[in-house]
Amino acid sequence: MRIVSLLPSATEILFEIGAGSEVVGVTHECDHPSEALKLPKLTSASGPEPTSPAEIDRHVRAAVHAGSSLYYLDTELLDQLNPDLIVTQELCPVCAVSYDIVTSAAKRLRSDPRVVSLEPKTLDDVFRTIRYLGKITNHGERADVVVTGLEARVRSLGPLDSARGDKTSARGDKTLVLEWTDPPMSAGHWIPELVERAGGRPVLANPGANSQRLEWEAIAAAQPDAIIVAPCGFDLAKTTRAIAQLKCVTEWSSLAAVRAGRILALDGNAYLSRPGPRLVEAAEIIARWYTSGAEYAG
């Protein structure tokens, strides 16, 4: 099978389940595992890339409002790669080339590939996605092994918070996760569960749903005990700079968690933004941070 992955999380899953040798093309953002960096890149950013969180937010909102794509898809290269399977998504127009562009391009290909859209919204959805990709790529046995291992690691972290019907977590810090900093945005989809599994209590979160814009007044009123900053698509260096820029926000500086140094700067691009195997590692990192009681750069 010749597989094109237009989603970084799908690329990670495909390599994890043993289908990496069948992947013939990826996106410009597929950087894990290292073998993916050697593959042909089918996408690129459309236009100049802004740098600060505020600039990026304005750029994205303008593009979405205008109905234009944030990414360019090299349809000529896609045709040359002659894929049997294209893996993409419809969940977020900001995270990858749009599903409509992919399906439109696929119809014009000589190979008449199957187009599969992945739409996980929870941790269980992610595990089902791994098994599904295993099934359709004939790597089902390995996918089952991967998921079984991930589920065991999740169970070792402990049960969910009492609010979800299980016994109370060991620490229970009220935890705010910022998926974006300017404007501040809540944690959505699978992230609140990761926080709970790690031993915290997510506040101002949107489990199983899209991230939402937050007001600083609401954040101040919630008074989180701990804050995780993991902007979508940002590596650790960019995240650290984003946190530094928050110092000019009065409400941010007044938060008890900020004054106490209870801030975790996390590589959101690697650990939280991509619905793949490394989500479990993210929960483990957060759990260690709760236990250490110190600042930690993941």
- Asked whether the predicted pLDDT for residue 286 surpasses 80, the reply is yes
Nearest C-alpha neighbor of 61 from the set 177, 180, 178, 176? 180
Per mean pLDDT, which range of 50-59, 72-81, 116-125, 278-287 is the poorest? 50-59
How many alpha carbons fall within 13 Å on the CB side of residue 154? 21
Mean pLDDT, residues 98-115: 85
Give the pLDDT confidence score for residue 165 in this predicted structure.
39
In angstroms, the CA 113 to CA 108 distance is 10
Per mean pLDDT, which range of 45-49, 83-87, 178-182 is the poorest? 45-49
The helix (run of H) or strand (run of E) holding residue 202 is strand 200-202
- Asked whether the predicted pLDDT for residue 102 surpasses 90, the reply is no
**How sure is the predictor about 224, in pLDDT bands with cuts at 50, 70 and 90?**
very high
- Asked whether the predicted pLDDT for residue 158 surpasses 90, the reply is no
The DSSP-derived string for 227-269 is EEE--TT--HHHHHHHHHHGGG-HHHHH-HHHHTT-EEE--HH
pLDDT in tens, 160-194: 654 443 434 445 899 999 999 999 999 999 999 99
Arch. (CATH architecture) of 161-297 = 3-Layer(aba) Sandwich (3.40)
Give the pLDDT confidence score for residue 199 in this predicted structure.
93
- Asked whether the predicted pLDDT for residue 46 surpasses 90, the reply is no
Give the pLDDT confidence score for residue 161 in this predicted structure.
55
- Structure-block tokens of residue 144: 């089952």
pLDDT in tens, 245-255: 999 999 999 99
* pTM score above 0.85: yes
Q: Where in the chain is the domain with CATH 3.40.50.1980?
A: 3-149, 161-297
Q: Write the CATH number of the domain with boundaries 3-149.
A: 3.40.50.1980
Per mean pLDDT, which range of 56-60, 61-65, 148-152 is the poorest? 61-65
pLDDT in tens, 23-34: 999 999 999 999
Give the pLDDT confidence score for residue 50 in this predicted structure.
59
Mean pLDDT of the chain: 87
